[in-house]
Structure 1
Amino acid sequence: METDVAAAEFLLDRGADRVEHPGGTLFAHLRRVHAMLGEWGARRELCLAGLCHAFYGTDGFGVALGDHGRRGELVQVIGAEAERLVHLYASCDRGRSYPHLASPDGPFTDRFTGTVQVPPPADRRDFAELTVANELDVLTASAEMRAAHGRSLAELFITWQPLLSPSANRAVQNFRP
């Protein structure tokens, strides 16, 4: 729990509580994603990644709290494994990567560098779990986002079922766009 508090303070120092986001502030969203992953039984590193997942910005949210070229700063706060997951999440070119995520050899395109990799199964599972938690929180918080993207994301997440934990799969099944 000490790391969770340090991470929250780090995010607040970077202004996460002053950035608007569906459902309030970016900080509130990050905390909800962290809590959701914890409720689903995710391991500690994935929960920490959930708390910091937007630190470098994302393909869908351009505000960055930190520079992905200075990854050591976040590593010092949440550890190397959690930061690696944050970077993986932030680097995703969604349009090119989402459709292929459930395929074991599906390409994953880095939006920062344009490089294509094939993440191992464990990374695909973590990425899918974090993405579902993030998107379900956004869709729950914003009727506008739910109307615009709810159905397509729900359909996508159905294709990710083999990657998701039973709890995340239940959340996807219970989601109503």
Structure 2
Amino acid sequence: MWDAIALLESRGAGVIRHPGGTLLAHLRRVHARLDAWGGRSDLLSAGMCHAFYGTDGFAVSLGDVERRDELAEVIGESAERLVYVYGCCDRGRSYPGLAEGGEFVDRFTGAPMALSEGERRDFAELTVANELDVVDAGALNAQQARGLYELFGRWRPLLSPAAAREVELRLTAPTTEPTDA
């Protein structure tokens, strides 16, 4: 992990602004959340580097998708593949059918991309960890948080019990308004 942190720091992650502080701080929190959920090694490495190629929601890129071997040398090919999958996701076209095995579209190429069931699970778990950190930073309004809750509810078959539990705890809104009784 220290090699990954050194690479991220060398690419400016420690000074790039992100909800809740810097991009590096966000990446560390996502990694820690995945670790707390019992994530496997490749998922943890991907969590630490998930924004390396930028994302559909965060345009800043630390690395070039034409030089993916640079990141693979540091975190391994399997973890780098997950970082690429996370970064290349065309969210508008890929999120709706993720749990059902629907089309997953690469935003860099515009082409559909085949994902294994395990990759779909890892992608969903990583997405939940990322978005919960953004929620914790106060960067989403109530309507956006409700939208995530609904989306992650559809993804529940892909999530670990720990991730599903945290979605319920962090994103469930009160069902009634407080009274002055």
Matched letter for residue 141 of structure 1: A
For structure 2, the 5+ residue unaligned runs are 174-181
Q: Structure 1 residue aligned with 2:134, among 135, 138, 156?
A: 138
Could you tell me which amino acid in structure 2 is paired with residue 110 of structure 1? D
Across the two proteins, how many residue pairs are aligned to each other?
Answer: 172
Residues 48-63 of structure 1: pairs in structure 2 closer than 5 A:
48-63=45-60
Measure, in 2, the Cα distance between the counterparts of 1:80 and 1:45: 9
Residue identity over aligned pairs, in percent, reads: 59
- Give me the whole-angstrom Cα distance separating, in 2, the residues matched to 1:140 and 1:168: 15
2:103 is matched with 107
Large movers: runs of 4+ above 2 Å: none
Partner Cα distance (1:49, 1:86) in 2: 5
1:70 to 67, 72, 83: 67
State the shift of 1:148 in Å: 5.0
For residues 167 and 140 of structure 2, the distance between their equivalents in structure 1, rounded to whole angstroms, comes to: 16
Which string of whole-angstrom CA distances, capped at 9 and with x for unpartnered residues, describes residues 51-90 of structure 1?
A: 0000000000000001011001001110100000000000
- Find the counterpart in structure 2 of residue 125 from structure 1: 121
* SS, match of residue 119 in structure 1: coil
**What TM-score does the superposition give when structure 2 sets the normalisation length?**
0.92
In 2: Cα distance, 1:84 partner to 1:170 partner: 27
Residues in 1 aligned to 2:12 and 2:161: alpha-carbon distance in whole angstroms: 34
Tell whether 2:110 aligns with 1:149: no
- Counterpart of 1:158 in structure 2 is 153
Residue 33 of structure 2 aligns with an amino acid whose one-letter code is M
Inter-partner Cα distance in structure 2 for 1:117 and 1:23: 32
Please, what is the CA RMSD of the aligned residues? 1.0
> Contact between 1:140 and 1:146, CA under 8 Å: does it hold in 2?
no
Counterpart residue type for residue 159 of structure 2: L
Higher helix share: 1
**1:17-58 deviation per Cα after TM superposition (whole angstroms, max 9, x unaligned):** 110000000000000000000000000000000000000000
2-structure distance, mates of 1:148, 1:102: 22
- Tell me which residue corresponds to 1:116: 112
Q: Where does structure 1 lack aligned partners over 5 or more consecutive residues?
A: none
Report the counterpart of residue 41 of structure 2 in structure 1: 44
TM-score normalised per structure 1: 0.94
